[in-house]
Amino acid sequence: MKLTQEQIKAYEEEGYVLLPGLFSQEEAALMKSRLPLLYRMDREEVIKEKSGVVRTVFAAHTFDDVFAQVARHPRLIEPARQLLGSDVYMHQFKINAKAAFNGDIWQWHQDFGTWHQDDGMPEARAMNVAIFLDEVNEFNGPLMFIPRSHMLGRLDASHDRSTTSYPLWTLDNAKVSELVEQGGIVAPKGRAGTVLIFQSTLVHASSPNLSPWDRNTLYVTTNAVDNAITRFKRPDYIAHRDFTPIQTVGDDALSGFLHAVA
């Protein structure tokens, strides 16, 4: 699957590109159907919010058959290769639950801040490719972006270990105010199955989910193979050590599972 020139331009200039309905409702429902089992698992990859509900499941592609296929899906990996101009490997694979009523915030940050500081990623040649597993609307804690903030490169950040259950390198309020004055804030929304690709230096955050609707989102973080991490401080289920290029599966890789559940 190839992005159009217009989509590439949006990614380069605005810092993100939204691909509405790239996966079918059925494919999204299949992915979502695996979550209750994952969220009940008692394993270190399952991170809880302070309230006790699941915040994130890391590396589900290593212990779930459907997500093993999703991690190699051409609708995610081909655009990543195209935008990075390189073969890619999987730096991180995570599902953020952002549960109805309980999903906690993600503070203002750049992903590259954490990948550089904690994982020794040399350059900002990695990106997130997200799949909405639920409809994302204005009420269930959508991702908020400051358009064009990626152009500024890596910004000063401090290590926040206390606001949420998950440590992150975050920006201070004065810097965020300054950036928002220049770029505003957008919150891309869409139905389940929509894909959202964004630059690793794009400043983003999300609010708590006070709505009655879950906001499960899957994030595939691909990194250029010649930009592999150099520091191994975080567990390998958070920052992977397998730098081999991802071999894609067929575009219909999920259809066997769909027939099995039909």
Which of 14, 104 has the CB closer to ligand SIN? 104
Q: Which stretch binds Mn ion (CB under 5 A): 4-12, 104-112, 152-160, 188-196?
A: 104-112
Which of 217, 227 has the CB closer to ligand SIN? 217
In 111-172 the beta strands, taken as DSSP E runs, fall at 126-132, 143-145, 158-160, 168-170
Q: How far apart are the first and last CA of the chain?
A: 26
The residue within the footprint of ligand SIN, chosen from 55, 73, 125, 204 (CB under 6 A), is 204
Distance separating alpha carbons of residues 83 and 16, to the nearest angstrom: 11
Distance separating alpha carbons of residues 77 and 106, to the nearest angstrom: 25
Residues 122-151 that bind ligand SIN (CB under 6 A): 143
For the packed helices 74-84 and 5-14, what is the interaxial angle rounded to 10 degrees? 70
Least CB distance to ligand SIN at residue 204 (A): 6
The residue within the footprint of Mn ion, chosen from 111, 118, 134, 214 (CB under 5 A), is 111
Report the candidate in 152, 143, 148 with the shortest Cα–Cα distance to residue 124: 152
Which of 99, 253 has the CB closer to ligand SIN? 99
The residue within the footprint of ligand SIN, chosen from 200, 216, 217, 223 (CB under 6 A), is 217
| DSSP letter string, 204-246 | EEE----SSS---EEEEEEEEGGG------S-TTTS----SPP
Which of 170, 253 has the CB closer to ligand SIN? 170
Distance separating alpha carbons of residues 262 and 217, to the nearest angstrom: 23
Give yes or no for residue 206 binding ligand SIN (CB under 6 A): yes
The residue within the footprint of ligand SIN, chosen from 17, 58, 96, 150 (CB under 6 A), is 96
Distance separating alpha carbons of residues 201 and 120, to the nearest angstrom: 15
Instruction: Look at residue 206 and give the partner it binds from ligand SIN, Mn ion, none, a contact being a CB closer than 5 to 8 Å depending on partner kind.
Output: ligand SIN
The residue within the footprint of ligand SIN, chosen from 106, 108, 198, 257 (CB under 6 A), is 106
Instruction: Report the residue number whose CB is nearest to ligand SIN.
Output: 206
Instruction: Look at residue 96 and give the partner it binds from ligand SIN, Mn ion, none, a contact being a CB closer than 5 to 8 Å depending on partner kind.
Output: ligand SIN
Which of 46, 143 has the CB closer to ligand SIN? 143
Residue count of the chain, please give it.
Answer: 262
Which of 116, 204 has the CB closer to ligand SIN? 204
Query: Quick check: helix, strand or coil at residue 188?
Result: coil
Give yes or no for residue 91 binding ligand SIN (CB under 6 A): no
Instruction: Look at residue 92 and give the partner it binds from ligand SIN, Mn ion, none, a contact being a CB closer than 5 to 8 Å depending on partner kind.
Output: none
Tokens 């401090």 correspond to: 158
Question: 3-state DSSP: the chain helix, strand, coil percent, rounded to 5?
Answer: 30, 25, 45
Residues engaged in binding ligand SIN (CB under 6 A): 96, 106, 143, 204, 206, 217
Residues engaged in binding Mn ion (CB under 5 A): 111
